[in-house]
Amino acid sequence: MKKQMLTTVILAAAATSLIGTTALAEESQSYTVGICQLVQHEALDAATQGFKDVLSEELGDAVTFDEQNAQGDSNTCSTIINSFVSNGVDLILANATASLQAAVAGTNEIPILGTSITEYGVALELEDFDGTVGGNVSGTSDLAPLDEQAAMLHELFPDAKNVGLLYCSAEANSQYQVDTVKAELEELGYSCEYYAFSDSNDLSSVVTTASSECDVIYVPTDNTAASNTEIINNICQPAGIPIIAGEEGICAGCGVATLSISYYDIGRTTGEMAVKILTGESDISEMPIEYAPTFVKKYNPDICEALGIKIPEGYEAIEAAE
């Protein structure tokens, strides 16, 4: 009897030890996440912060971030991604289109989540894109309804004739947006003209031309424009030319109104996707692209006042940065 009791005690102790070892192994699991952000500006910064907040909340000290900024240079994105691959990170966050393109070119094994990507089919040149990229890529989109942005321009400036479409020609998603908005605006009776700049070096001259030839300017969700709103505003506001912007950060810097999303929220959504991938709960190849659930009409009180523009009810004021 004593022998049987001793055996039972030993087995119980072994089971307890095994459980303890398993729990310790789970607790000791750690993850390194590489973050490649194309450029520093309010929208992308918010998406990155939302992403990091969720991972920190869910995984605590088990997650370490290698966060790097390419300062607007796509070649630097490639260098950053190559370093992530060499270091064997567990997951890559590619914030903005150039970062995503570099990540996809750099690895087909490490999970890649994009964020602040307008249209994945355009960014990755995918034929018959159905909402799921597949392979090692998924993420979130910052696309707001372009037809509703065109309708907003019409609501605020029904008597305008000529609309300038100002965008960076190096950003494929910007081209997609202005093409779509142009078709919508022409249906509404506007005459539209493209004003493309290749980078920040020729931005000033292109904006000057646009402001002298147009009644209203539309600026899509565009990273180069977002990083240079002061240049745009310093030309357009004195000329009395209002700007409808594709996202809140651009509107805060140079626009009168926007139909925008919360970049912090899509960053959090991307973070939730990352947690599921890292913990093995979900397979990235089967995860569809996620989109913002809500869109908000917002206006810039300071620029509206300076231009004498009265905003109708239903718009939320953009709070001035502290």
**Residue-wise pLDDT tens for the chain (322 aa)?**
444 444 444 444 444 444 443 333 345 689 999 999 999 988 999 999 999 999 999 999 999 999 999 999 999 999 999 999 999 999 999 999 999 999 999 999 999 999 999 999 999 999 889 999 999 999 999 998 999 999 999 999 999 999 999 999 999 899 999 999 999 999 999 999 999 999 889 999 999 999 999 999 999 999 999 999 999 999 999 999 999 999 999 999 999 999 989 999 999 999 999 999 999 999 999 999 999 988 999 999 999 999 999 999 999 999 865 4
* CA quadruple 41, 292, 258, 117: dihedral sign: positive
Q: Give yes or no for a contact between 13 and 46, defined as CB atoms under 8 angstroms apart.
A: no
> What amino acid occupies position 143?
L
d(CA 196, CA 170): 9
pLDDT value, residue 293: 86
Sort strands 257-260 and 296-299 into parallel, antiparallel or unpaired.
antiparallel
pLDDT value, residue 7: 46
Crossing angle of helices 172-187/146-156, nearest 10°? 50
pLDDT value, residue 57: 98
d(CA 272, CA 269): 5
Percentages helix, strand, coil for the chain (3-state, rounded to 5) are 50, 20, 30
pLDDT value, residue 199: 87
d(CA 52, CA 90): 15
Exposure class string for 97-122: b at 16+ Cβ within 10 A, else e? bbbbbbbbebbeebbbbbbbbbbbeb
Report the run of H or E that residue 279 belongs to, with start and end. none
Strand partners, 291: 141
pLDDT value, residue 119: 93
Torsion angles phi and psi, residue 241, rounded to 5: -100, 115
pLDDT value, residue 254: 97
pLDDT value, residue 321: 56
H helix intervals, the chain: 2-28, 42-59, 74-87, 97-106, 120-123, 146-156, 172-187, 203-213, 223-226, 229-239, 248-254, 263-278, 301-307
d(CA 252, CA 42): 10
pLDDT value, residue 105: 97
